[in-house]
Amino acid sequence: MKLVSTETSLVIAGAWNPAILTPQWVLQHGLNKSLDGGNLIQAFLPATQGVIFDFPRYVLEDLSFSVRPDLVILSPVESTAERMVALEEAAARMLEQLKHTPITGIGHNFEFREANPVPGNLDLFTASRQDLINNMPDCWEPASASLAASFKNNTDTVIVNIQRRYEADVLIVKFNFHHPITSADDALVVLRGENDYKRMNQNLIFAKQLMTELYGEIEND
């Protein structure tokens, strides 16, 4: 099982103005960098068929981000403890400048993939659709299967959503640690790991431990 570092992200849900969070603004207020420092900025537009307009992803030297009216998605350049702490600190500095932004949640997202899953690890997917398989006409065969489960901690402050999918001989497991909050001040508490909240790296360690117990050793991609 491999950790897919490109899918590691910090999501802040709320009411955002994409016109404010420009790459230059993020450099200055999130990363504390001078605007005349020669910092490289790249912009990527999603190449999705049939989409009239989508929001660009900006890649800076220390992080990448995308802004929509309902959320901000930030990703570290690597899924290391140092990089994730730096990402959270940048997000906190941004929120300190935008204290009146309505915030409704923070998510820590991670993804794992196994290209050659052990047959025994697929039994759950077979069982979940066996009744359908038994009743489908002969001209149909299974293409994919998904399983989803959610757990909450004993203080009701964090919900972890775990989605498992088997498709094209690949097992994919996605983790979303969702923190339901109601303000920028609450968001700062989560980002800084205060009041018993876990920081991104701590939640990644939790996810890795669970994946190791279920599927064996975890590799970084």
pLDDT the model gives residue 47: 62
According to the model, what pLDDT value does residue 162 have? 98
Residues 6+ apart with CB under 8 A from 173: 1, 111, 112, 113, 162, 163, 164, 165, 211
Give the tokens for residue 102.
């309505």
212 conformational bin, left if phi > 0, alpha if psi -120 to 50, beta if neither: alpha
What average pLDDT is seen over the chain?
93
Q: Label residue 221 by pLDDT band (50, 70, 90).
A: low
Task: Say how far apart CA 13 and CA 70 lie, in whole Å.
Answer: 6
28: which DSSP letter? I
Q: Which residues is 58 bridged to in the sheet?
A: 43, 65
Q: How confident is the model at residue 197 (pLDDT cuts 50, 70, 90)?
A: very high
Measured at the alpha carbon of residue 202, what is the angle toward residues 198 and 207, in degrees to the nearest 5?
115
- Of 152 and 48, the structure prediction assigns the larger pLDDT to 152
Give the per-residue pLDDT at 51.
Answer: 52
Q: What is the pLDDT of residue 121?
A: 93
Which residues neighbour 200 within 8 Å (Cβ) at sequence distance 6 or greater? 8, 10, 84, 85, 87, 88, 108
Above 70 in pLDDT, residue 37?
A: no
Per-residue pLDDT at 41: 86
Burial class (CB in 10 A: 0-12, 13-18, 19+), 139: exposed
pLDDT recorded at residue 50: 54
Element (H, E) at 207: helix 200-215
The answer to whether residue 184 scores a pLDDT higher than 90 is yes
Residue 14's closest CA among 108, 110, 109, 98?
98
The pLDDT-based confidence of 76 (bands split at 50, 70, 90) is very high
Report residue 154 as tokens.
Answer: 């004993």
The DSSP annotation for 93-154 comes to HHHHHTTTS-EEEEEEEEEEEESS--GGGGHHHHHHTHHHHHHS-TT----EEEEEEEEE-T
Q: What is the pTM of this model?
A: 0.92
β 219-220/2-3 pair status: parallel
Nearest residue to 69 via CA among 54, 90, 85, 48: 54
Question: Would you state the pLDDT for residue 84?
Answer: 97
pLDDT at 2: 96
pLDDT, average across residues 39-66: 80
For 128-170, how does the pLDDT look when each residue is reduced to its tens digit (9 = 90+)? 999 999 999 999 988 999 999 999 999 999 999 999 999 999 9
78-124: per-residue pLDDT in tens? Answer: 999 999 999 999 999 999 999 999 999 999 999 999 998 999 999 99
